[in-house]
């Protein structure tokens, strides 16, 4: 309460300050190893340039090694246990029936492709769920080929991988017929399956007409036009159809909902479940993969991985403080400051957060049907001041177009490369905003309502209101009882402005592009641009990744120039780990459904833990 009152006082002071000062204005690197249309180019091992040797401080008694980037680092240890948490009980272990299944199977089941953990973090730091196809490597598949006409997709399956040594698989070698069965089940194309999975619309819309294992190590898919997005989706992105499920389990039990029947090829095997309390995995002693960052070392390093079910936020924080869990994260600066004060020994890693509260202006209703008004609303907000004063520096004011995350590189033009007139409209300029309003016929401003709920950052929006007040615009917060009501109003188009911009987790290019196509249900701004629609259509049918990326960038620029949404700061999340958990950085993804795969690559310093 005190914080809200404080921010209201600051809002008033900011309005006064703004009025008094209103007369004052305030290259993509090419990477080798990418599979291109019509052929497969194998990725080469990471190359380390010769540099002058630097002295590295080595702690006495620590065994050292050279990692994939040529750095001298502490050699990972084997053994120990990793403990983390889930905020809910997943309920079942078969991804076919919904996304929750992945919270049981990630790390147990594997996908055809995986984020390439050996890539330099400067290129991709793996802090975002979307991993571009260019930043992946083969997992169950060694490589893939796409025909030049996009109608044939061939997967070359990796040899030497075995299912877990438990019934009914009993360590059988994984092969192409496992992939054939899995996708025919998902897509209703054989083995008695005649309907596509009803639990995922994206799976239902895949252009796959047939899936056939032509030999033990080759799978051929035929379709009406495969694109890079389809390869991403089937290869690793989809939480429903990308994780490969064993045929014998489905034939024996009908499905894999029961965790006791779960068998995979991955680094972890589920060992115990206490409903509503915990889920425990043990390492797969026969796992086939070695660590990408520490050459030659088999994974997983830890002996077990345990998830405690902790729905309550305060209980999770307490568990971290007392060492009962090894990981904890928050988006709230106050919570981060509190745990840093009580537990200064914890390691902190910052990641960028994809949020949805960017503010959609209804482009079909006055005054927001006039692009000059939409520009003015953007120009009136001092993003740099918000970053420094409200977010205490833990945010970024830079506009990123369709992709508000700095980690999603290559799918938008850098701000400094935007056309000058576009760039200027995204820079704080209250006098310029007033001039635009006058030009649009609103010299004295106007009144409007902003749909919002308590789930959003109301304090931040109060500050934004203050900026608008300074240019003569009166904003009333329309407090709604639920997000469902807010979304319903946004879809129907009865709102002036709504706080939501898109689903916050929608960071995949095709999904994000689709949000702003004319008539799309998630186009909460009801913005329409035929040129944008055409670019999206071309992107969705492109079979060449470079072309696809360029089309996305061009579409993103049209979106930027439409000013349908406000640009708000990209914020950061505070991720803490116990000092005995060793990793170069705490990251949250290795591509789509592989969101627990990184735990196999973390190790426990057992001397520190004692």
Q: What is the pLDDT, as a whole number, of residue 512?
A: 82
Q: Write down the residue that tokens 């060992």 correspond to.
A: 271
In angstroms, the CA 231 to CA 6 distance is 51
Q: Are 179 and 244 in contact (CB under 8 A)?
A: yes
The single-letter DSSP state of residue 93 is S
Per-residue tokens: 438: 């006058």
pLDDT less than 70: residues of the chain: 1-60, 356, 403-408, 502-507, 584-588
Kindly state the DSSP code that residue 434 receives in the 8-state scheme. H
Q: For position 59, what pLDDT does the model report?
A: 57
Q: Which of these, 499, 476, 474, 475, lies nearest to 486 by C-alpha position? A: 499
Q: CA-based angle 494:498:503, to the nearest 5?
A: 115
Determine the pLDDT at residue 198: 82
Residue with tokens 């639990």: 199
Q: What angle do CA 270, 276, 280 make, to 5 degrees?
A: 20
Please choose, from the candidates 166, 197, 165, 193, the residue with its C-alpha nearest in 3D space to the C-alpha of residue 181: 193
Instruction: Please tell me the predicted confidence (pLDDT) of residue 101.
Output: 84
**C-alpha span between 10 and 55 (Å, rounded):** 50
CB 299 within 8 A of CB 601: yes
- Quick check: 471 and 434 in contact, CB under 8 A? yes
Dihedral (CA of 426, 427, 433, 435) sign: negative
Task: Transcribe 349-405 into DSSP letters.
Answer: EEEE-----S-EE-TTSTTTTSHHHHHHHHHT--HHHIIIIISTT-EE----TT---
- Run of H or E residues at 246: none
Distances (CA, A) of 456 to 184, 220, 308, 358, 561: 42, 47, 28, 11, 26
Q: Are strands 81-86 and 304-309 parallel, antiparallel or unpaired?
A: parallel
220 strand-pairing partners? 154, 212
Measure the CA dihedral 521/524/530/534, to 10°: -60
CB 17, CB 26: distance < 8 Å: no
In angstroms, the Cα distances linking 476 to 229, 374, 465, 470, 495 are 41, 17, 8, 15, 12
Q: For the purposes of burial, counting CB atoms within 10 Å of the CB of 450, is it exposed (0-12), middle (13-18) or buried (19 or more)?
A: buried
For residues 557 and 592, give the distance between their C-alpha atoms in angstroms, rounded to a whole number. Answer: 26
Q: Which two tokens stand for residue 201?
A: 């619309």
Question: How many residues are listed for the chain in this entry?
Answer: 610
Q: What secondary structure does DSSP assign to 96-141, as a single string?
A: GG-GGGHHHHBTTB--SEEE-TTS-TTT--S-SS---GGGEEESSE
DSSP code of residue 451: E
CA 94 → CA 14, 262, 440, 590, distances in Å?
Answer: 53, 8, 56, 20
CA 355 to chain centre: 11
- CB of 379 closer than 8 Å to CB of 428: yes
Between the CA of residue 176 and those of 39, 162, 241, 571, what are the distances in Å?
Answer: 20, 12, 16, 43
Q: How far is the CA of 296 from the CAs of 293, 299, 581, in angstroms?
A: 9, 10, 21
Tokens 């005995």 belong to 580
Q: Nearest CA to 250 among 109, 94, 417, 127?
A: 94
Domains of the chain: 86-326+578-609 (3.40.190.10), 354-571 (3.10.105.10)
């Amino acid at each position: 309460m005190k914080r809200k009152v404080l921010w209201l006082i600051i809002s008033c002071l900011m309005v006064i300050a703004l009025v008094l000062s209103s007369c004052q204005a305030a290259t993509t690197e090419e990477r080798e190893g990418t599979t291109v249309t019509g052929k497969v180019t194998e990725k080469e091992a990471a190359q380390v340039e010769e540099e002058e040797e630097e002295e590295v401080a080595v702690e006495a008694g620590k065994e050292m090694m050279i990692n994939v980037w040529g750095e001298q680092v502490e050699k990972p240890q084997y053994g120990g246990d990793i403990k983390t948490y889930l905020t809910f009980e997943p309920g079942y272990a078969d991804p076919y029936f919904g996304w929750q299944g992945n919270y049981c199977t990630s790390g147990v089941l594997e996908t055809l492709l995986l984020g390439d953990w050996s890539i330099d973090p400067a290129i991709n730091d793996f802090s975002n769920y979307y991993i571009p196809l260019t930043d992946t490597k083969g997992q169950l598949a060694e490589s893939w080929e796409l025909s030049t006409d996009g109608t044939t997709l061939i997967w070359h399956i990796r040899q030497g991988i075995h299912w877990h040594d438990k019934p009914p698989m009993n360590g059988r070698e994984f092969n192409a017929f496992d992939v054939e069965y899995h996708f025919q089940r998902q897509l209703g194309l054989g083995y008695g399956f005649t309907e596509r999975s009803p639990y995922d619309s994206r799976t239902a819309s895949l252009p796959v007409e047939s899936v056939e294992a032509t030999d033990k190590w080759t799978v051929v898919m035929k379709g009406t036009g495969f694109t890079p997005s389809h390869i991403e989706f089937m290869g690793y992105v989809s939480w429903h159809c990308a994780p490969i499920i064993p045929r014998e389990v489905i034939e024996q039990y009908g499905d894999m909902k029961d965790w006791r029947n779960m068998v995979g090829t991955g680094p972890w095997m589920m060992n115990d479940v206490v409903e509503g309390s915990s889920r425990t995995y043990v390492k797969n002693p026969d796992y086939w993969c070695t660590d990408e960052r520490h050459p030659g070392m088999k994974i997983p390093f830890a002996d077990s991985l345990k998830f405690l079910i902790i729905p309550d936020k305060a209980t999770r924080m307490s568990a971290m403080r007392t060492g009962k869990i090894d990981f904890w994260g928050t988006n709230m600066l106050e919570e981060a400051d509190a745990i840093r004060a009580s537990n200064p020994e914890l390691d902190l890693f910052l990641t960028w957060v994809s949020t949805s509260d960017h503010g959609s202006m209804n482009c079909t209703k006055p005054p927001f049907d006039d692009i000059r008004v939409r520009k003015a609303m953007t120009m009136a907000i001092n993003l740099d001041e918000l970053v420094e004063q409200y977010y205490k520096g833990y945010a970024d004011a830079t506009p990123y177009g369709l992709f508000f995350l700095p980690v999603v590189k290559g799918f938008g033009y850098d701000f400094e490369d935007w056309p000058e007139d576009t760039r200027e409209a995204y820079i704080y300029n209250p006098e310029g905003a007033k001039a635009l309003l006058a030009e649009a016929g609103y010299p004295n401003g106007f009144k409007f309502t902003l749909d919002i709920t308590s789930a959003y950052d109301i304090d931040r929006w109060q500050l934004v209101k203050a900026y608008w007040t300074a240019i003569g615009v009166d904003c009333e917060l329309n407090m709604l009882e639920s997000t469902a009501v807010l979304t319903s109003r946004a879809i129907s188009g009865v709102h002036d402005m709504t706080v939501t911009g898109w689903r916050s987790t929608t960071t995949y290019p095709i999904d994000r592009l689709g949000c702003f196509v004319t008539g799309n249900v998630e186009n909460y701004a009801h913005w329409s641009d035929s040129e944008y629609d055409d670019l999206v259509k071309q992107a969705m049918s492109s079979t060449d990744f470079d072309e696809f990326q360029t089309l996305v960038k061009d579409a993103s620029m049209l979106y930027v120039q439409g000013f349908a949404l406000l640009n708000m700061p990209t914020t950061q999340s505070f991720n803490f780990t116990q000092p005995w958990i060793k990793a170069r950085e705490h990251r949250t993804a290795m591509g789509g459904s592989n969101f627990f795969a990184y735990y196999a690559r973390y190790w426990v310093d057992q001397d520190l833990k004692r």
